[in-house]
Every structure is written in structure tokens, then in C-alpha cells.
Amino acid sequence: MSVMTPWFSELFAENLHTLGDDWWLNYNVVDEIGHWVKCVDLAYPEWRIAIEYQSAYHREAEQFARDVTALTELTRLGWYTVQLTSKHVFAYPRLTASTVKEAIDAQKQRPLHAPTRPELPKLPELPELPA
């Protein structure tokens, strides 16, 4: 990925690239029946790792409540969430990338229950109504 966002430092990106290129910025997560859950800042969908940058915006009461609801649902769906602040990204980018690597390693050890891109169940055919 070459797209940068204000919180996404070049050094942090360089360290993430050492973990592989299978990550996505602004990734939409859906539940097992296809309902949208959250657009996570950065994701490793194969391993169900969501990386969320917590700026001052996330301290507002309404946004904080939405975040807690969405993060709870991500956990239910088997996603591991790494929470970051500017200090993590800019002051300790290597340590932060190492934390992401540890999350990947941990997720590789656990079974992933729901499919990453779930298919909706097929509904049975309904009989035709008499005319």
C-alpha cells in the first residue's frame, strides 16, 4: 500500500512492509450475514487484525460510544484490535510494528470461526400462492 493518512508515518509504513503487503487502509469489516460493522483504519483481513488510530476525535462521547460498540462486535467476530495513538506511531514505530507482528502470530494460532467474506445463506424457495 502506498496511500498515506495523516497518522500513518513513513517509518511505521516501512516497518509494516517488513511484515508483508497483505494489509489494507480503511478496510470495511462486515459481520457473518454481511452487515457493515466498522471501517477500520488499517487491517490484515486474512488474520482478522484491526489497527485503530485513536485521535482526539475518538474522545468525543458519541464517537467513543460508537467505537466501543463496533470494537465489541469486532471481538465477537474474532478480530484482534491493536489500538494506537500518535505517540505509538511517531515515537515508537518499530515497537508498534512489533506489536502488530505479535498480533499476527497470535491470530495464526487461534481458529477463525466466521469466514472473512461471508456468503449470505440461501433462503428456501417459497411455494407460489394460489391465484
Please work out, in degrees rounded to the nearest 5, the angle formed at the alpha carbon of residue 76 by the alpha carbons of 88 and 120: 120
pLDDT in tens, 68-119: 888 889 998 989 999 888 788 778 878 888 888 888 888 888 766 544 555 5
The burial class, CB within 10 Å (0-12 / 13-18 / 19+), for 131 is exposed
Angle at which helices 10-17 and 93-109 cross, to 10°: 30
pLDDT tens across 34-70, in order? 899 999 988 989 889 998 887 655 567 787 888 888 8
The CATH code for residues 18-109 is 3.40.960
> pTM for the whole thing?
0.69
